[in-house]
């Protein structure tokens, strides 16, 4: 992407200031990041909080029923259903960007490696820019055809969200350790990459223009996760370090199902394609994602094996993995693996089913409880997110709640009451569709 095609803009002053105020509340290390940027990224331009639009995008709609027509430049050019769908997606995107900063900040201090920590800081700054980007999409258009809420109030609504009130489930889960920061980057940001890539074709030009610069940054976020995972896998192979495969496996069990849920119901997504907003349906994108993380897990296993057995060449290591062979006392079960796609789901056809990690059905709730305790990271089931899921799962298991109602019932902590900036009122509310609207 030639630099000259990228337009840089700032939000009107009052919104820019509001984002800076949010930044000061949730990123107290911002000054440290600016002061040390050159030390860690000597060849990177200094970070700038701004909206970046790639003006070289295809001017015509690339998929869907309007394919070939000029891309929409404002919401009022679309039909109501399209505009409504788009608005929900933009708000959900903004929410996820800011939500991840709120998650990362609490365990950031627990990193044992200064560089890992600094990379997470940069990633958080870029997520803030992504939120800022979505605010620019919201504020540069008139959405009155689909909402009575002003742009100002929509921005305020997103700035007021907390962990627990974000649109998508993965952004409502507290991190328990720095392993969560890293696993989140490798697994959840990767979903972000898929979503951004799908929206590069967006029939709404401001959205399409936003994706290229965000995707470049997203690649760094994936590296922020993958780098430490590789190092930990090799260290564990050599018998060094403090992160075992058991710990990594449990973290994968925690995050992989949430990543799958982020694609939306795997039977859906057709409207997004028909409307011209994404190039793939949910299920297709999800399977491509699974293939990619499968490769990641395979790479980690290979690094582990070759670190443990320095004489093992790459081809032989790959053969062992391909054939699920045991080698010198290391068995297939000792290595990392992805859970089955039916495990621990809260959206889609397998939502609120009692499945074990291999996808097998569990028939009684007590066995399910014991299985979950055995495969999830130790502190996670004690948290609010898991308890919300678990209490509903129990009702589904004893027949007093349907899976569809359980999905709807997942409570969200939302700001209610007036739109006054000083209002911090929050209470538990039931969302209208219980599912978030970003990806359906
Ligand atoms: Fe992002
Ligand atoms: Fe990201």
pLDDT band at 184; cut points 50, 70, 90:
very high
Closest-approaching ligand to the CA atom of 211: 1
Q: 168: Cβ–Cβ under 8 A, 6 or more apart, which residues? A: 92, 95, 96, 99, 261, 262, 436, 438
Residue 434 counted as domain residue: no
Q: How far is the CA of 369 from the centre of ligand 2 (A)?
A: 32
**Weakest-pLDDT range from 15-19, 168-172, 421-425:** 421-425
> What is the spatial distance between Cα 133 and Cα 128, in angstroms, rounded to a whole number?
9
> What is the spatial distance between Cα 111 and Cα 315, in angstroms, rounded to a whole number?
34
Closest-approaching ligand to the CA atom of 225: 2
pLDDT band at 168; cut points 50, 70, 90:
low
Whichever domain contains 356, its CATH number is 1.10.620.20
Q: What is the pLDDT of residues 263-307, one digit of tens each?
A: 989 998 889 999 999 999 999 999 999 999 999 999 999 999 999
Mean local confidence (pLDDT), 133-160 = 93
Residue 317 counted as domain residue: yes
Q: 77: Cβ–Cβ under 8 A, 6 or more apart, which residues? A: none
> What is the spatial distance between Cα 287 and Cα 412, in angstroms, rounded to a whole number?
28
Q: How far is the CA of 192 from the centre of ligand 1 (A)?
A: 6
Q: For the chain, how many structural domains are there in total?
A: 1
Cβ–Cβ < 8 Å for 190, 293: yes
Q: What is the pLDDT of residues 405-433, one digit of tens each?
A: 998 877 554 433 333 333 333 333 334 33
Q: How far is the CA of 205 from the centre of ligand 2 (A)?
A: 21
pLDDT band at 162; cut points 50, 70, 90:
confident
Residue 439 counted as domain residue: no
Burial 342-371 (b: 16+ CB within 10 A, else e): bbbbbbbebbbbbbbbeeeebeebeebbeb
Specify the DSSP class assigned to residue 259. Answer: H
Residue 425 counted as domain residue: yes
Provide the pLDDT for residue 167.
66
Domain that holds residue 66: 3-429
Q: How far is the CA of 171 from the centre of ligand 1 (A)?
A: 12
Provide the pLDDT for residue 165.
64
Q: How far is the CA of 150 from the centre of ligand 1 (A)?
A: 24
Residue 437 counted as domain residue: no
Q: How far is the CA of 360 from the centre of ligand 2 (A)?
A: 33
Q: How far is the CA of 191 from the centre of ligand 2 (A)?
A: 9
Cβ–Cβ < 8 Å for 58, 69: no
Residue 193 counted as domain residue: yes
Q: How far is the CA of 134 from the centre of ligand 2 (A)?
A: 14
pLDDT band at 33; cut points 50, 70, 90:
very high
Provide the pLDDT for residue 438.
36
Residue 375 counted as domain residue: yes
Q: What is the pLDDT of residues 229-272, one digit of tens each?
A: 999 999 999 999 899 999 999 999 999 999 999 898 999 888 99
pLDDT band at 440; cut points 50, 70, 90:
very low
Q: What is the pLDDT of residues 338-380, one digit of tens each?
A: 999 999 999 999 999 999 999 999 999 999 999 999 999 999 9
Closest-approaching ligand to the CA atom of 219: 2
Q: What is the pLDDT of residues 69-93, one digit of tens each?
A: 999 999 999 999 999 999 999 998 8
| HSE of 134, CA atoms in CB hemisphere, 13 A | 26
Residue 438 counted as domain residue: no
């Amino acid at each position: 992407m030639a630099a000259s095609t990228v337009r840089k803009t700032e939000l009107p002053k009052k919104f820019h200031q509001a984002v800076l105020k949010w930044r000061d509340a949730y990123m107290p290390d911002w000054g440290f990041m600016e002061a040390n940027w050159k030390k860690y990224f000597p060849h990177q331009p200094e970070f700038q909080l701004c909206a970046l639009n790639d003006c070289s995008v295809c001017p015509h709609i690339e998929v869907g029923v309007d394919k070939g027509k000029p891309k929409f430049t404002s919401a009022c050019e679309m039909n109501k259903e399209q505009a409504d769908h788009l608005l929900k997606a933009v708000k959900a995107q903004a929410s996820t960007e800011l939500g991840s900063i709120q998650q990362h900040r609490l365990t950031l201090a627990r990193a044992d490696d200064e560089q890992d920590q600094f990379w997470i800081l940069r990633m958080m700054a870029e997520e803030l820019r992504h939120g800022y980007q979505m605010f620019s999409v919201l504020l540069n258009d008139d959405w009155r055809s689909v909402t009575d809420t002003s742009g100002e109030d929509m921005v305020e609504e997103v700035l007021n969200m907390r962990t627990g009130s974000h649109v998508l489930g993965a952004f409502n889960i507290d991190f328990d350790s720095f392993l969560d920061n890293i696993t989140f980057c490798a697994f959840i940001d990767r979903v972000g990459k898929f979503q951004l890539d799908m929206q590069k074709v967006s029939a709404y030009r401001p959205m399409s223009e936003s994706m290229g610069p965000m995707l470049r940054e997203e690649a760094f976020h994936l590296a922020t996760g993958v780098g430490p995972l590789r190092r930990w896998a090799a260290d564990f192979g050599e018998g060094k370090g403090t992160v075992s495969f058991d710990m990594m496996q449990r973290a994968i069990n925690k995050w992989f199902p949430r990543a799958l849920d982020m694609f939306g119901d795997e039977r859906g997504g057709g409207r997004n394609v028909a409307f011209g907003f994404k190039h793939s349906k949910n299920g297709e994108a999800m399977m491509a994602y699974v293939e990619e993380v499968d490769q990641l897990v395979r790479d980690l296993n290979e690094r582990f094996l070759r670190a443990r057995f320095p004489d093992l060449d790459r081809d032989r290591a790959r053969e062992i993995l391909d054939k699920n062979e045991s080698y010198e006392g290391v068995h297939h079960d000792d290595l990392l693996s992805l859970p089955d796609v039916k495990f621990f789901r809260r959206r889609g056809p397998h939502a609120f089913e009692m499945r074990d990690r291999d996808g097998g059905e569990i028939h009684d709730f007590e066995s399910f409880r014991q299985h979950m305790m055995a495969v999830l990271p130790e502190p996670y089931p004690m948290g609010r997110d898991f308890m919300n899921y678990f209490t509903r799962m129990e009702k589904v298991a004893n027949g007093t709640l349907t899976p569809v109602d359980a999905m709807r019932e997942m409570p969200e902590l939302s700001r209610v009451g007036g739109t006054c900036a000083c209002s911090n009122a929050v209470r538990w509310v039931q969302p209208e569709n219980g599912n978030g609207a970003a990806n359906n």
